[in-house]
Amino acid sequence: MMKRKLVATVLGMSLVFTMFNFQAGQAASAAAPKAKNVILMIPDGYSTDYATNYRLYAGKHSSMDPHLVGMVKTYAADSPLTDSAAAATAMATGFKTNNGMIGTTPDGKARKTILEAAREQGKATGLVATSTITDGTPAAFSSHILSRAQEIEIAPQQLERADVILGGGKSYFLPESLGGKQKTRNLIEEAKQSGFNIVDNRDQLMAAKGGKLLGLFANSEMASELDREVTNEPSLREMTGKAIEALQTDKDGFFLLVEGSQVDSAGHYNDAAWAMKDLQAFDEAVGLALEYAKQDGNTLVIVVSDHDTGGMSVGGYGQIGAKPEILQRVNASGGFMASKLNADRSNVKEVLRTYASIELTAAEEAKIKSAKEAMPAINAVISEHALVGWITYLHTGVDVPIYAFGPGSELFRGLHDNTDLPHLIAKTLHINFGGGAEK
C-alpha cells in the first residue's frame, strides 16, 4: 500500500515538474530576444592559436575577445578535416556535406540557406569577402552547386540572392570577350540593368549611394592587407561599413556575411606576418560592426571561423617564448618578397632587410637560394625568427572559437556543431528557417 502511495506521489510530482518546465519553456520562447539584423563574420582559417598570436602582435585584446561565448566543431560529412565549402554549407544550411560541395547535401539535394530564409522574410542580404566572392564561404550561403570549382555557375546565383556583393572575382562576372570566364554573359551589365550600383575601386565604393551594390575589386582574390597599399582596393573595414550603410535602408532588416578570407590564404602559405596583418584588418571590421550593433541595439554580431589552417603554434623551434615584434616589422607578404628576387636570388639579403627588417645568416641565405620555391623558404625563415610554428600547409580538424554580441547572443554559449548555427540565427531573427528544407 505504501509503495502504491509513493509511486502516485512521485508521478504527481513528475507531472507538476513537467507542466512547470513546459510553461517555463513557453515563457522563455516567448521572451526570446529578437534581432532585426545579423552580421555573421568569418575569419577563414582562424583558431585559438591565431587568436593568441594576434593578441601578442597587437599588444592588446582584440575587439572579439570580450565576446567569446563558446567553441564550434568543424568536421565535414566525409572527413574529420573540413574545407571551407563544406564548413560554410553546414553553417548556412544546418546540414553536413562533403568537402567541395556548395549548399547541397552529399545526395545532391540543394538545401535552403539562412541567407535565403532571411531574404524570404523580406530582409536585405549582403556578401563581403577578400577572396573571390564566388569562393567557398560566400558561395555556400548564396548558391547551390555540386562543386566549389564551378564559380562561373555560382556568380549568377549570387546576383539573384544578394543585394550587396563586395569582394574579388570580377572575372567570373565578365564574358570571355572582355577577358572574363563567362562564355557570353556579362553579369556586371545584367546587374546594372537590374538596379545595382556598380563600383570597381575604393574611391567609387566610398562615394556610392543606394541600396543595391556590386563591387568587384580584383579579377581574382583581392590583395593581402600587407600588399593592399599598392592597389586601389578598399579595406575589409571599408567594405563592411559600406555594406551596412546600404543594407540598413531596408525597413525589415538585413543579413550580412563578411569573410576575412586572406587569413586562410596566409595559413596555407605559412606566412605568419600576412596572417597577423589580415587578422588586424578583420579585427577592425569586427570593431566597426560591434560599434554599429551597440548604437543600433537590434543587431546580432557573430564571429566564428570555418576551420583552422596551418596548425599555427604560439612558440616553437625548441625555444620558449614569442617574438611578435619580428612580425610587426614585416611590411610585405612572402609572395611579394619572392617577386622582388632577381633570377639567381643574389639579392635575397637585401630583400629580407628591406621588407622584413631581418639580417639573414649565411645559412638562411643559402636556404632561400637553394629552395625549389622561394616564398615558402622566406616564410619559414620569418616564422622561425618570430617563434611561430606550423604543422601543415593544409587544414586541421580542431574546434574553433565563436564570439557573439547583441540580442540572442546567449544562445551561442557552449560547445556547438557548426550545423547548429543557422538554427540559432533563425531563432534570434524569429524567422522560419524550415530546417534547411530541400530547395
Domains defined along the chain, listed by start: 37-310+393-429 (3.40.720.10), 324-386 (no CATH)
**pLDDT for position 21:** 42
- Which whole-number Å values give the CA distances from 138 to 85, 176, 224, 279, 411, in the listed order? 9, 24, 18, 18, 24
Point out the catalytic residue in the list 84, 261, 333, 383: 84
Kindly list the distances between the CA atom of residue 228 and the CA atoms of 243, 262, 333, in Å, as whole numbers in the listed order. Answer: 20, 12, 10
CB 435 within 8 A of CB 111: no
CA distances from 227 to 233, 274, 336, 385 (A): 10, 9, 8, 21
Q: Among residues 272, 301, 306, which one has the least CA distance to residue 287?
A: 301
Q: Alpha-carbon distance 67 to 8, whole Å?
A: 48
pTM for this model (two decimals):
0.92
pLDDT given for residue 312 in this prediction: 98
| Sheet strands (E) in 203-269 | 213-216, 254-259
Would you state the pLDDT for residue 382? 98
Listed in order, strand segments (DSSP E) in 272-413 are 299-304, 308-309, 395-396, 400-405
Cβ–Cβ under 8 Å, residues 129 and 178: no
pLDDT for 3 equals 39
Q: Which amino acid is at 239?
A: M
Please report, as a single letter, which amino acid is at residue 300: L
Name the nearest CA neighbour of 151 among 98, 221, 202. 221
Please report the pLDDT score of residue 258 as a whole number. 99
Residue 165: enclosing H or E segment and its boundaries?
A: strand 164-168
In the chain, DSSP finds a helix count (H) and a strand count (E) of 17, 12
pLDDT at site 210: 79
Q: Where are the alpha helices (DSSP H) in 220-333?
A: 236-247, 262-268, 272-296, 324-328
Using an 8 Å Cβ cutoff, are 86 and 106 in contact? no
What is the full per-residue pLDDT of the chain (439 aa) written as tens digits?
Answer: 433 443 344 334 444 334 434 343 343 344 568 999 999 999 999 999 999 999 999 999 999 999 999 999 999 999 999 999 999 999 999 999 999 999 999 999 999 999 999 999 999 999 999 999 999 999 999 999 999 999 999 999 999 999 999 999 999 999 999 999 999 999 999 999 999 999 999 999 999 997 899 999 999 999 999 999 999 999 999 999 999 999 999 999 999 999 999 999 999 999 999 999 999 999 999 999 999 999 999 999 999 999 999 999 999 898 889 999 999 999 999 999 999 999 999 999 999 999 999 999 999 999 999 999 999 999 999 999 999 999 999 999 999 999 999 999 999 999 999 999 999 999 999 998 975 556 5
Known catalytic residue at 84 = yes
